[in-house]
């Protein structure tokens, strides 16, 4: 992200400087003055955006906390267990790694990133216990992280919240597009990981480069600190599974949502957010959750999250504001906009597509800048596309760095290739479905 941030700012400055040298005072404000104004306005706009996001973020994380306390993660874990034992034949059915991976996927599907990361680190630690070649990724690790980078998001709560804060008339209208794109990305992630494994055989690291036992222990200690009490909260009942026919019906139900959401997405979109509110509250009551107290606890986390993103939003929105005010964006649109637009990818959305695998905060800032641009807006085709990209893909390089770093894996084999292939599939899927529904 350091390089990306510097490149954007430097490109904007050099473009504005070139235009300044050729500027005629009779034409009005100078490019450098416009650049200065854009920097100040973008910084203020980033803070206003984050403050406006506080209320919506606290609402959604409060509802998610009710679902989590009610055991929704465990229910999902039991549903997908029969699929997991087939995807990961190297992992014993009752091994702790299996339960941790299931909970990680379930948390990701619900948009519970704060819960997904500790479960993911725990899964990698358990998978490493089965690894005969320390320091080298196993096929199970590569497949697990490839699926993670494909996002497998069924409920992109963060993106919906940001769209609502940006004034969208239908903030949940991206649910059908996100579902389609994430299914494409996840399917390709699994296929790519299984295929690429044949081309990247396991080659153990030299003995001198293999992680030492004490180093591994230290890495696990750091991970345990990051997990806090989440690690101890892994439900033991998540290792059990529902009967196969129940899981099959649930899978068919999810697959059936894809054509229904495509055909009737615009009709059901206004019902989604009120329905989620009522549904989660009733679910919590049915499970004996003290919904008011738990909602408030989750809302506190949402408030903190919204405030923590202010520095990231200021940095990226100032850089993007400079890029646009300098004329660099206009030049890029002029050069390649016609070609990419013919493929369904407007030039304004290109930075978002390129940044998403590199930096979650950077892509988040670019999306926020686009949907808050009065000339584009959250409900335009471009606004829908970047919202779908944000909700249906993951920050590949960040995921690999955090999860492999927790167990000191240096030879990642085909993991990155599978993750980037999934990212590409998600982008293509997002373009196709957005063209179909909003193009």
Tell me: pLDDT of 237 over 60.
Answer: no
**Stronger pLDDT, 253 or 272, i.e. the higher one:** 253
Backbone angles phi, psi at 132, to 5 degrees: -75, -15
Stated pTM of the model: 0.67
**Stronger pLDDT, 185 or 72, i.e. the higher one:** 185
Segment of 200-209, 226-235, 381-390 carrying the highest mean pLDDT: 381-390
Domain boundaries, the chain: 50-307+392-419
Query: Which residues is 196 bridged to in the sheet?
Result: none
Question: Between the CA of residue 332 and those of 327, 329, 335, 351, what are the distances in Å?
Answer: 9, 5, 5, 11
150-174 average pLDDT score? 79
Other Cβ atoms within 10 Å of 86 Cβ, number: 7
pLDDT at 241: 63
CA atoms within 13 A on the CB side of 349: 27
Both tokens of residue 367? Answer: 């999306």
Give the model's confidence band at 13: pLDDT under 50 very low, under 70 low, under 90 confident, else very high.
very high
Both tokens of residue 421? Answer: 């292939």
Both tokens of residue 208? Answer: 């001198």
What length does the chain have? 439
Q: Of 84-93, 221-230, 283-292, 294-303, which range is least confident?
A: 221-230
Q: Of 80-84, 122-126, 365-369, which range is least confident?
A: 80-84
For CA atoms 96, 298, 183, 137, the dihedral sign is negative
Both tokens of residue 211? Answer: 């992680």
Tell me: pLDDT of 231 over 50.
Answer: no
Backbone angles phi, psi at 134, to 5 degrees: -60, 140
Question: Between the CA of residue 367 and those of 43, 162, 164, 312, 372, what are the distances in Å?
Answer: 16, 9, 13, 13, 8
182-193 average pLDDT score? 92
pLDDT per position as a tens digit, 46-57:
777 677 767 766
Task: Report yes or no: 384 and 173 within 8 Å, Cβ to Cβ.
Answer: yes
For CA atoms 348, 351, 357, 359, the dihedral sign is negative
Task: Report yes or no: 404 and 148 within 8 Å, Cβ to Cβ.
Answer: no
Task: Report yes or no: 432 and 172 within 8 Å, Cβ to Cβ.
Answer: no
Round the average pLDDT of the chain to a whole number and report it.
77
pLDDT per position as a tens digit, 320-353:
788 878 888 777 767 776 777 778 888 778 877 8
**Stronger pLDDT, 195 or 305, i.e. the higher one:** 195
pLDDT at 229: 37
User: Residue 411, SS3?
Assistant: strand
Tell me: pLDDT of 58 over 70.
Answer: yes
pLDDT per position as a tens digit, 15-38:
999 988 887 777 777 888 888 888
Task: Report yes or no: 364 and 159 within 8 Å, Cβ to Cβ.
Answer: no
User: Residue 136, SS3?
Assistant: strand
Tell me: pLDDT of 220 over 60.
Answer: no
Give the model's confidence band at 272: pLDDT under 50 very low, under 70 low, under 90 confident, else very high.
low
pLDDT per position as a tens digit, 391-416:
777 778 777 877 888 788 888 889 98
Contacts of 407 by beta carbon, 8 Å cutoff, 6+ apart: 124, 125, 127, 128, 211, 216, 219, 220
pLDDT at 359: 63
DSSP string, 380-398: SHHHHHHHHHHHH---HHH
Both tokens of residue 267? Answer: 């009709």
pLDDT at 193: 94
The CA distance from 87 to 80, in Å, is: 11
Nearest to 32 by CA among 46, 43, 21, 45: 21
79-99 average pLDDT score? 80
DSSP string, 122-180: HHHHHHHHT-SSTTB--HHHHHHHHHHHT---S--HHHHHHHHHTT-S-GGGGHHHHHH
Where do the H-state alpha helices sit in 228-327?
A: 244-286, 291-308, 310-325
Give the model's confidence band at 309: pLDDT under 50 very low, under 70 low, under 90 confident, else very high.
low
Percent of the chain with pLDDT over 70: 77
């Amino acid at each position: 992200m350091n390089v990306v941030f510097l490149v954007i700012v430097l490109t904007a400055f050099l473009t504005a400087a070139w235009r300044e040298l050729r500027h005629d005072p009779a034409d009005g404000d100078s490019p450098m003055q416009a650049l200065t104004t854009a920097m100040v306005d973008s910084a203020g706009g980033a803070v206003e955006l984050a403050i406006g996001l506080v209320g919506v973020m606290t609402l959604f994380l409060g509802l998610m906390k009710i679902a989590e306390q009610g055991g929704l993660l465990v229910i999902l874990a039991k549903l997908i267990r029969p699929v997991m034992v087939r995807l990961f034949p190297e992992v014993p059915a009752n091994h702790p790694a299996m339960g941790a991976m299931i909970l990680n996927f379930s948390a990701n599907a619900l948009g519970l990133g704060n819960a997904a990361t500790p479960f993911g680190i725990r899964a990698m630690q358990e998978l490493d216990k089965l690894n005969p070649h320390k320091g080298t990724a196993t096929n199970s690790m590569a497949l697990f992280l490839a699926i993670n980078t494909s996002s497998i998001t069924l409920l992109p709560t963060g993106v919906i919240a940001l769209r609502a804060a940006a004034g969208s008339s239908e903030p949940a209208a991206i649910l059908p597009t996100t579902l389609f794109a994430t299914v494409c990305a996840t399917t390709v992630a699994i296929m790519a990981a299984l295929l690429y494994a044949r081309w990247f055989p396991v080659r153990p690291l030299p003995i001198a480069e293999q992680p030492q036992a004490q180093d591994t222990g230290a890495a696990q200690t750091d991970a345990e600190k990051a997990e806090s009490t989440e690690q101890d909260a892994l439900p033991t009942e998540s290792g059990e599974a529902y009967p196969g026919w129940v899981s099959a019906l649930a899978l068919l139900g999810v697959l059936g949502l894809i054509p229904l959401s495509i055909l009737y997405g615009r009709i059901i979109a206004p019902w989604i957010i009120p329905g989620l509110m009522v549904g989660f509250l009733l679910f919590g009551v049915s499970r004996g959750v003290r919904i008011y107290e738990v909602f408030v606890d989750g809302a506190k986390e949402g408030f903190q999250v919204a405030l923590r993103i202010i520095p990231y939003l200021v940095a990226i929105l100032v850089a993007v504001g400079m890029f646009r005010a300098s004329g660099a964006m206009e030049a890029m649109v002029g050069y390649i906009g016609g070609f990419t637009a013919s493929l369904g990818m407007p030039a304004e959305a290109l930075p978002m597509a390129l940044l998403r695998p590199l930096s979650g905060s950077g892509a988040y800032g670019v999306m926020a800048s686009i949907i808050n641009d009065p000339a584009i807006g959250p409900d335009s085709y471009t606004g829908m596309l970047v919202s779908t990209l944000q909700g249906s893909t993951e920050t590949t390089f960040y995921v690999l760095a955090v999860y492999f770093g927790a167990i000191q894996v240096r030879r990642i084999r085909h993991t990155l290739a599978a993750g980037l292939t999934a990212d590409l599939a998600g982008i293509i899927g997002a373009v196709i479905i957005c063209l179909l529904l909003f193009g």
